[in-house]
Chain A
Amino acid sequence: MIELENVSKVYQGANGEVRALDDVSLSVEKGKFVAVRGPSGCGKSTLLLTVGAMVRPTEGRVLLDGEDVYGMSVSQRARLRAGKIGFVFQMFHLVPYLDALENVLVPTLAGARGGRPEALELLERLQLSHRLHHRPAELSTGERQRCALARALLNRPEIILADEPTGNLDPDNAAQVMQYLGNFHREGGTMLLVSHDPLADQYAQRVLRLDQGRVQ
């Protein structure tokens, strides 16, 4: 269960304060698929990173399964991410010098569950068995995102936080990626998805609208 209680996040910019999140309160129950929509710069990515134990809010609390995320130490938060959360980004963020299989195995550096057999199984499920030893530069954009998705799934996370995962993909690949995210949700995972893609609404059980840092 994800809970945000009166969360605000203020950045100090060159031109003064930027209020990325403004008194946001919401809860996402375990196993739910929630999409967050809104215009560019409305605070969607900040919301995702705040939930992902990456951005400490200026005010308010973030609770994961009842635990105050920012009451934890830095290393406890790192362990939390390694154990419970998977990230998927619009720009994939694969390590450029590792091949597909090695990229999927990167979370094991943080002590994530899963190893080579699980990585191979995931890559097969995501139809990347023929690309195991290809580097990101040798993969198509769709393949890169599927590889990033496999990486996010390796530690069998309870939550996937996805930031515009289909933003760089053509419709076919976007549909395929959404299908995999839908599968994760169907298998019991909690999904928090930030997307402009209307396709997301088909999978989401709940759609939140964010505007100027506030949930509408």
Chain B
Amino acid sequence: MTEKKWPETWQEINPGCMVFRPGSASEYHTGSWRAKRPIWENEKCIKCGVCYIYCPEGCVTETADGFFEANLDYCKGCGICAHECWPAAITMVNEEE
């Protein structure tokens, strides 16, 4: 979790409440309450990219060798990637394992 920093006084607010530090939303790690996580079996993966397309979070990324993995900072374990995977190469496993 990021540290919320509110400008303490009204004088400190940027005009128009403009934010000059871009992309600060990425500091919110939305994956921290995940119950299950996706595991890829690369032997079965056909590199179609469907998991990448369907992930509602947009946190499935392609690795250097063309396979896929989820960014666990943001993955909420919804299981859509596993549901959509054609060769059933993705399994949802409990977070504790």
Answer yes or no: are A and B bound together in one complex.
no
Taking Cβ atoms with an 8 Å cutoff, the residues of B that contact A are none
Taking Cβ atoms with an 8 Å cutoff, the residues of A that contact B are none
